Amino acid sequence: MDPLVQLENVTKRYDNGAAPAVDNVSLAVAAGEAVAIMGPSGSGKSTLLNLIAGMDRPTSGAVRVGGERVDLLSETAVARFRRRQVGMIFQFFNLLDDMTVADNVLLPAQLAGTRTAAARQRAAELLATLRIAHRRDAYPARLSGGERQRVAIARALINRPAVLLADEPTGAVDRATGDEIGALLLELNAAGQTLILVTHNPDLAVRYAHRVVEIADGRVTSDAVLADGGRPAAERTLP
């Protein structure tokens, strides 16, 4: 089966002279996988997610999502791709503070031109799944960190993206809340959502992903599929 997300020899260089942020990375993620990306600060994790999301373009190499060359899309096509094919969540949630929970979640559906009735129904389902429906009329400032991240996940999923990209989603919450977010992401993955999760937290990676990719200095240094219980089932250490 073709991978859902595929990077082929992808390099991203921000500054000529400086070392590339992503250095000749090849990586394939199948539909339904839950992949954790780990590595030290500055190792290129966010850059990698941004390249998959079409937020940034590689200096060289190919990025495919669902068989489509994301790196070659026009500005208009890439905007459409971002709205429909990828959902993204972040450490600091990036919710709009002057909109209610329900309106934050609905916004990407409105931007994508989804019929209002269908969008409202989808939003209601997601708010229920993410156990945040009782806060639908609240403003983000009144929510806890864990509640905000649940709203952000609902917003990321409203357009049924092929892949959910999470950039240190538990970086700004306490441990118990982090575990709760990890468990929710795993639940979504069990229901079929492909997930690529950047995290600093080895516990989270092992408990809430099925595969751990380690990167250092922009390169993949290890790519391991985990057995149940979080021990590596097969490890492939790359040169």
CA-CA distance, 183 to 152, in Å (whole number)?
A: 15
42: partner contacted, choices ligand ADP, Mg ion, none (Cβ within 5-8 A by kind): ligand ADP
* Cβ atoms 98, 141 nearer than 8 A: no
Residue among 19 and 233 whose Cβ is closer to ligand ADP: 19
* Cβ atoms 12, 205 nearer than 8 A: no
CA angle 72, 165, 132 (to 5 degrees): 140
Residue among 59 and 129 whose Cβ is closer to ligand ADP: 59
Instruction: Report, in Å, the least distance between residue 18 CB and ligand ADP.
Output: 7
User: Interaction with ligand ADP in 42-71: which residues (CB under 6 A)?
Assistant: 42-47
Instruction: Report, in Å, the least distance between residue 134 CB and ligand ADP.
Output: 34
Residue among 43 and 193 whose Cβ is closer to ligand ADP: 43
CB atoms within 10 A of CB 41: 7
What tokens were used for 83?
């709205």
CA-CA distance, 111 to 188, in Å (whole number)?
A: 24
92: partner contacted, choices Mg ion, ligand ADP, none (Cβ within 5-8 A by kind): none
Q: What letter would DSSP give residue 238?
A: -
Distances (CA, A) of 189 to 18, 46, 99, 113, 168: 37, 21, 28, 26, 17
Instruction: Report, in Å, the least distance between residue 223 CB and ligand ADP.
Output: 16
What tokens were used for 160?
């049924």
Binding mask 104-143 for ligand ADP (x = CB under 6 A): ----------------------------------------
CA angle 68, 149, 205 (to 5 degrees): 70
* Strand runs labelled E in 91-188: 163-167
92 binds ligand ADP (CB under 6 A): no
Count of positions on this chain that bind ligand ADP (CB under 6 A): 10
Residue among 57 and 84 whose Cβ is closer to ligand ADP: 57
Distances (CA, A) of 212 to 83, 160, 192: 27, 24, 18
41: partner contacted, choices Mg ion, ligand ADP, none (Cβ within 5-8 A by kind): ligand ADP
189 binds Mg ion (CB under 5 A): no
Instruction: Report, in Å, the least distance between residue 233 CB and ligand ADP.
Output: 26
46 binds Mg ion (CB under 5 A): yes
Coil, strand, or helix at residue 37?
Answer: strand
| Chosen residue from 16, 41, 74, 76 binding ligand ADP by CB under 6 A | 41
201 binds Mg ion (CB under 5 A): no
* Residues lying near ligand ADP in the complex (CB under 6 A): 14, 21, 39, 41-47
